């Protein structure tokens, strides 16, 4: 289960970033980065990325953060990822349904999701002992 949540977390973050790179009109800063690394061809799929892929990958990452939290109970580790995923979801929904420019939501959300992923990658979480679970052998 730990491998699945760690992988889903990373897949969600990468999916959101690639989806944002495909929308040059919506998110020019990250789209220019995508064009530099050869992802300029994604611009023709802009509608698909914004309406479907970005929210789906943000939801995957959000669920991975929440499921991971159930295992290690460290809310400080979970909070940046969850807030970031919610910001990305809000950016996608506001862009899709209201047509608002939402780069001011997307970029901080991506930064928080990346920070949470790097934190988990370089310093994996371990379960925190709580008094009710102190007698279990799974508690560290």
Q: Does 101 or 2 have the greater pLDDT score? A: 101
106, 91 Cβ separation under 8 angstroms: yes
pTM of the complete model: 0.68
Q: What is the pLDDT of residues 84-103, one digit of tens each?
A: 999 989 998 898 888 888 87
| Torsions phi, psi for 30 (to 5 deg) | -75, -30
| % the chain with pLDDT above 70 | 76
pLDDT value of residue 87: 94
pLDDT digits (tens, 9 = 90+) for 100-132: 888 788 889 988 988 887 887 776 666 555 555
Q: What CA–CA distances, in Å, run from 34 to 48, 60, 71?
A: 16, 22, 35
CA distance 91 to 136: 42
**Arithmetic mean of pLDDT, 128-138:** 52
């Amino acid at each position: 289960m730990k491998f699945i949540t760690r992988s889903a977390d990373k897949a969600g973050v990468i999916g959101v970033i690639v989806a944002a790179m495909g929308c040059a009109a919506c998110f020019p800063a990250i789209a220019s980065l995508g064009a530099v690394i050869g992802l300029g061809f994604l611009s023709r799929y802009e509608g698909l990325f914004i309406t479907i892929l970005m929210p789906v990958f943000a939801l995957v990452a959000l669920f991975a953060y929440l499921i991971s939290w159930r295992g290690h109970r460290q809310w400080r580790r979970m909070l940046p990822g969850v807030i970031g995923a919610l910001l990305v979801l809000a950016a996608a929904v506001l862009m899709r349904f209201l047509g608002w420019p939402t780069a001011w939501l997307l970029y901080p959300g991506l930064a928080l999701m990346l920070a949470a992923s790097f934190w988990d990658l370089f310093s994996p979480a371990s379960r925190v002992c709580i008094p009710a679970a102190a007698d279990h052998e799974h508690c560290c």
